[in-house]
Amino acid sequence: MSETRVHLSKTEPTAYRALDDFSRTVGEICRANGISERLKELVMIHCSQLNGCGFCTRIHVDRALKAGVDTDTLMQIATWRESGVFDDREQAALELAEAFTFISEEGISDEVYDRVGSVFTEKEYAALSWACVSINAFNRIVIAGRYPVPPRVADGATA
């Protein structure tokens, strides 16, 4: 797309830094409450996929790979309900990611809340919820600004 958009992180860097600080705090909350990097990154990827945010999807796929998520698992996130590679915690987290991403449709239904709550402690549920809030905010900034996702060159770097 050739249309130039306002780049919110450059136009109002103070607000963007605050969101970035918030994201770091969410990461600390996840670690403190027993949410592994693997699980957090699966949630970040799924929210970004659902929102159609290629920029954030790439960032979190890279982070997931560093956290030990294999490519087979990454390829199945979008179809997690039909896949046998995700454990109960991962399935519950991916379901929560969907509920938060599409929250305007029906909120967090009692069924989702009960199902996810039967797998996670209150602290884990809260940490994952904050992770969903954080990535959905970033997705909106990036999508609105149409941040480019350049092709990768042979060594894995972007062009």
Q: Would the pLDDT of 2 be above 70?
A: no
Mapped onto helix, strand or coil, the DSSP state of residue 157 is coil
Q: Are 108 and 128 in contact (CB under 8 A)?
A: no
pLDDT in tens, 45-88: 999 999 999 999 999 999 999 999 999 999 999 999 999 999 99
pLDDT band at 1 (very low <50, low <70, confident <90, very high): very low
**Half-sphere exposure in the Cβ direction for 15 (13 Å, CA):** 9
As a whole number, the mean pLDDT across the chain is: 94
Q: Round to whole Å and give the CA distance between 152 and 56.
A: 15
Radius of gyration of the chain (CA): 16
pLDDT band at 107 (very low <50, low <70, confident <90, very high): very high
**Predicted TM-score (pTM) of this structure:** 0.91
Q: Round to whole Å and give the CA distance between 65 and 37.
A: 10
